[in-house]
């Protein structure tokens, strides 16, 4: 069996150790000869990488491992780029969340003005990684889960339409795992779904078991009472995520024939979200105080004691969708997966040049999107507004246009007026001066 070489871009991410452990767990179906880490923050990456070196030495000494901030070294001779960068890191995520809240608008990593601000930072970073791949390993594929995926995907569609990049999100996977539990199945892989929407903005329109039995009535009945919280809930999730899964109860009430992505709460209940936010302590603070401290603390302990059992790093089994995707390309598995791809007629009454999240069959030559047919008026109306926001952000970045970015923020369903949009934009420009193009 062929063995592959991969580079993790954003080696210093809090998700990197969990993904390395997940890759080791799946090594039989996706064999590796080399793992490399690339990050533009060498000091942050070193803490994660030194611990991963010890883990790999213990568990898989045959896999060559290296890390660097030098793109030529890290992007040469790779088959896959697994990209999860966060341009501006948590310090800027905190600004994305807190600036809109100061104006009474919700502050979220990927939705509303915060997601737009993050998009304006991410586009350049993701394009840079893509260019490194095309320069040093032109046959490689980039599996991108850097956020905000919707805006990043639209930017690469516009600027590099032929690039070998696949954009994927783990939210539907997390929700489907809960749905499987609700339906009494062992795994989400025992379900076959129809789904349509934009990234962090979509609906399941059909869910069947592998025999073709309709599971929608049972799951809808549960979600209407409890949201996406299974009756015997054993998952360790923080209170803020638990609230999001529970709130799906109210989100689902808007349409009785589909099941919603949890992120729709930000667009359909923004007043509720603002009311339940603490403007001085947002999700970025929670992540810095919990996940970042635990992961970096564990890595430091492993490096000091030169032993992987000195830390508490968990396998990110849920991230095995990345191996599913890489294997689909590497071994032509023809697996059915949700990806963010150009619509091209799949949603027949929606713009063909919109980046939509839909099921695709994935093989060695990439994704083949499935036809999801026409979409209902409620969803179509919401999606048209949101896709226009995403396209305006990309145009604003390309043209360095203040006006288009103001239009984008104004058009976001989370923002009440053009004057509030302008006030938020002017604050965001100051906060992002080291990251955004200078707007005209
Ligand atoms: P993090 O800040 O811990 O890690 C991001 C890393 O990217 C940092 O080490 C940073 O130095 C590095 N980086 C920033 N800009 C870079 C650049 N231009 N080139 C190279 N490296 C750069 O963040 P995290 O919380 O671990 O999340 C990482 C990313 O993964 C985020 O974009 C997050 O939104 C995304 N994510 C996506 C999904 C999904 O479903 N699509 C799921 C989870 C996380
Ligand atoms: C889900 C989404 C990701 C997002 C993440 C945020 O997994 O699909 O796109 O980045 O949640 O999680 P966090 O724990 O960082 O708030
Ligand atoms: Mn996502």
**Residues lower than pLDDT 50 in the chain:** none
Pocket of ligand 1 (CB under 6 A): 9-10, 12-15, 39-41, 44-45, 84-87, 89-90, 125, 128, 145-147, 149, 169-171
Q: Which of 50, 77, 170, 233 is catalytic?
A: 170
Q: CA 142, 10, 195 angle in degrees (round to 5)?
A: 50
Task: Check residue 236 and give its pLDDT.
Answer: 74
Sheet with 259-260, edge to edge strand ranges: 191-198, 201-209, 259-260
Looking at all shown ligands, the one closest to residue 168's CA atom is 1
Q: Does domain 4-167+286-321 match CATH 3.40.50.300?
A: no
Cβ-contact 148, 303 below 8 angstroms:
no
- Please indicate whether residue 214 is annotated as part of the active site: no
Name the residue of 170, 198, 243, 290 whose CB sits within 8 Å of the most ligand 2 atoms, as the mutation to test its pocket: 170
- The pTM (predicted TM-score) of the whole model is 0.98
Burial (CB count within 10 angstroms: exposed 0-12, middle 13-18, buried 19+), residue 40 = middle
Nearest alpha carbon to residue 7 among 42, 32, 43, 27: 32
- Please indicate whether residue 255 is annotated as part of the active site: no
Closest ligand 2 atom to residue 169 Cα is 8
Q: What is the phi/psi pair of residue 277, to 5°?
A: -105, 150
- CA–centroid distance, 122 to ligand 1, in Å, is 10
Task: Check residue 158 and give its pLDDT.
Answer: 98
- CA–centroid distance, 150 to ligand 2, in Å, is 13
ipTM of the complex: 0.98
Task: Check residue 232 and give its pLDDT.
Answer: 85
- CA–centroid distance, 435 to ligand 1, in Å, is 15
Q: Could you tell me the end-to-end alpha-carbon distance of the chain, in angstroms, rounded to an integer? A: 54
Closest ligand 1 atom to residue 145 Cα is 41
Q: Which of 67, 118, 228, 263 is catalytic?
A: 263
CATH 3.40.50.720 domain locations along the chain: 4-167+286-321
- CA–centroid distance, 421 to ligand 2, in Å, is 25
What letter does residue 77 receive in the DSSP assignment? Answer: T
pLDDT tens string 339-355 = 999 999 999 999 999 99
Pocket of ligand 2 (CB under 6 A): 109-110, 147, 169-171, 283, 287
- CA–centroid distance, 204 to ligand 3, in Å, is 16
């Amino acid at each position: 069996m062929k063995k592959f070489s991969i580079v993790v871009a954003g080696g210093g991410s809090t998700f990197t150790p969990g993904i390395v452990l997940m890759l080791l767990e799946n090594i039989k179906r996706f064999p590796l000869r080399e793992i490399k880490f690339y990050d533009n923050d060498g000091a942050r990456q070193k803490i994660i990488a030194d611990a991963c070196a010890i883990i790999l030495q213990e568990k898989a000494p045959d896999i060559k491992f290296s890390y660097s901030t030098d793109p030529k070294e890290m992007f040469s001779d790779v088959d896959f780029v697994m990209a999860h960068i966060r341009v501006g890191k948590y310090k800027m995520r905190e600004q994305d969340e807190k600036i809109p809240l100061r104006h009474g608008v919700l502050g979220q990593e990927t939705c509303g003005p915060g997601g737009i601000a993050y998009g304006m930072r991410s586009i350049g970073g993701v394009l840079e990684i893509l260019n490194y791949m095309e320069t040093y390993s032109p046959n490689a594929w980039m599996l991108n889960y850097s956020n905000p995926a919707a805006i990043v995907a639209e930017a690469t569609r516009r600027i590099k339409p032929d690039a070998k990049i696949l954009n994927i999100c783990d939210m539907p996977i997390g929700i489907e795992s809960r749905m499987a539990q609700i339906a009494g199945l062992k795994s989400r892989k025992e379900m076959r779904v129809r789904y349509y929407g934009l990234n962090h903005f979509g609906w399941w329109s059909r869910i069947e078991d592998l025999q073709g039995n309709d599971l929608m009535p049972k799951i809808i009945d549960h979600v209407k009472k409890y949201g996406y919280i299974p009756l015997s809930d054993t998952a360790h999730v923080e209170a803020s995520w638990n609230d999001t899964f529970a709130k799906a109860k109210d989100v689902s009430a808007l349409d009785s024939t589909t099941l919603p992505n949890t992120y729709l709460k930000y667009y359909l209940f923004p007043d509720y979200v603002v009311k339940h936010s603490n403007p001085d302590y947002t999700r970025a603070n929670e992540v810095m105080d919990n996940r970042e401290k635990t992961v970096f603390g564990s890595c430091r302990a492993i490096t000091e004691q030169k032993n992987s059992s000195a830390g508490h790093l968990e396998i990110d089994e849920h991230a095995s969708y990345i191996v599913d995707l890489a294997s689909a390309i590497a071994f032509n598995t023809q697996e059915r997966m949700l990806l963010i791809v150009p619509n091209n007629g799949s949603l027949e009454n929606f713009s063909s040049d919109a980046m939509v999240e839909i099921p695709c069959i994935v093989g060695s030559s990439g994704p083949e999107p499935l036809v999801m047919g026409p979409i209902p008026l409620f969803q179509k109306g919401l999606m048209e507004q949101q896709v226009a926001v995403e396209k305006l952000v990309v145009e604003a970045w390309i043209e360095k246009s203040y006006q288009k970015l103001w239009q984008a923020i104004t058009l976001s369903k989370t923002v009440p007026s053009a004057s509030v949009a302008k006030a938020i934009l002017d604050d965001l420009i100051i906060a992002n001066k080291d990251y955004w193009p200078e707007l005209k």
